[in-house]
A = this chain, B = another copy of it.
Amino acid sequence: MTYCVGMIVDRGIVLMSDTRTNSGVDNISVFKKMFHWSVPGERMIAVMTAGNLATTQAVVSQLEERAKVPDERDNSLLTAPSMFQVATDIGRLLRKTIAERQNANGEKGKGRFTASIIVAGQIAGMEPRLFMVYPEGNFIEASHDTPFFQIGETKYGRPILIRGYDREMSFEDTVKLLMVSFDSTLKANLSVGLPLDVMVIGRDEFAPIHQHRVMHDDPYFQAISSGWGDALKNAFHSLPDYTFYSE
């Protein structure tokens, strides 16, 4: 499994992903699920992937044209005229990659090669945009009503995102909110695991303004993880008490 969140705030976009991949519970590896490409001053595009690892690696490799020798590569993401076109291209590539694997494996391949991708970024002269691309190749865009997308193991970490989101949040608070959401997920599901990757995309910056890998001994994440239990207990006790007998 996987857990990735992309969240859009007034100041830009914050992305966070875990790095655990597993096939069963005893074949666990660390793989990056967050990738980005930028043209300084002009565009910044990032993706996060969930689903079949061979599928998502194939999509990223094809985006980078790794089948060609380095001199002949021409990443279409770096020339697409808009983020809408970027999402369209990634969706087409994702659908095609899944279909090839499925067709090659007949009935047995059904549903096994599926994946989803969160696409975030900004191109100069346009707004920062955040998309969720489905395995079918279509996609939806985040808005003020739905300002974040999650992929993978999404449920455990969702209530705090719903409750804590505020579009005027600082980037620091946004990262903190995502860390709490990841901590709740990590506590509940073994298939989501450290290290975590964090990236902050500032409006009109066209390069990551912050990147961080949260390792097992990260003192801030440890403080969030141990502090959140106590903070929740205090929150719980601050609510009115239940009584069996109403007056």
Q: Interface residues, chain A, CB within 8 Å of chain B?
A: 155-160, 162-164, 171-173, 175-177, 179-180, 184, 187-188, 200, 209-210, 220, 223-224, 227-229, 231-236, 238-244
When C-beta atoms are compared, the residue in chain B nearest to A240 turns out to be: B223
* Known A156-B155, A188-B158: A163·B242 in contact at CB below 8 Å: no
Q: Is the CB of A163 within 8 A of B224?
A: no
Task: Give the docked Cα–Cα distance between A229 and B236 (Å).
Answer: 11
Copies in the complex: 2
Q: Is the CB of B159 within 8 A of A233?
A: no
* Known A223-B239, A236-B177: A244·B210 in contact at CB below 8 Å: yes
Contact of A228 among B156, B163, B177, B209 (CB under 8 A): B163
Task: Please give, as numbers and ranges, the residues of chain B lying within 8 Å of A240 by CB-CB distance.
Answer: 220, 223-224, 227
A227-B238, A231-B236, A232-B232 are known; give 5 further A-B pairs, CB within 8 A.
Answer: A163-B233, A175-B242, A176-B236, A179-B242, A200-B244
Task: Please give, as numbers and ranges, the residues of chain B lying within 8 Å of A243 by CB-CB distance.
Answer: 172
Q: Is the CB of B231 within 8 A of A235?
A: yes
Q: Is the CB of B162 within 8 A of A159?
A: no
Q: Is the CB of B239 within 8 A of A228?
A: yes
Return A112 CB to nearest CB of chain B, in Å. 18
Q: Is the CB of A187 within 8 A of B172?
A: no
Q: Is the CB of B231 within 8 A of A172?
A: no
Q: Is the CB of A164 within 8 A of B236?
A: yes
Task: Give the docked Cα–Cα distance between A223 and B242 (Å).
Answer: 10
Return A4 CB to nearest CB of chain B, in Å. 16
Q: Is the CB of A241 within 8 A of B173?
A: yes
When C-beta atoms are compared, the residue in chain B nearest to A221 turns out to be: B242
Q: Is the CB of A159 within 8 A of B184?
A: yes
* Known A155-B188, A162-B188: A238·B242 in contact at CB below 8 Å: no
Q: Is the CB of B239 within 8 A of A172?
A: no
Q: Is the CB of B231 within 8 A of A180?
A: no
* Known A159-B156, A227-B239, A238-B234: A244·B164 in contact at CB below 8 Å: no
* Known A156-B159, A158-B188, A241-B173: A180·B236 in contact at CB below 8 Å: yes
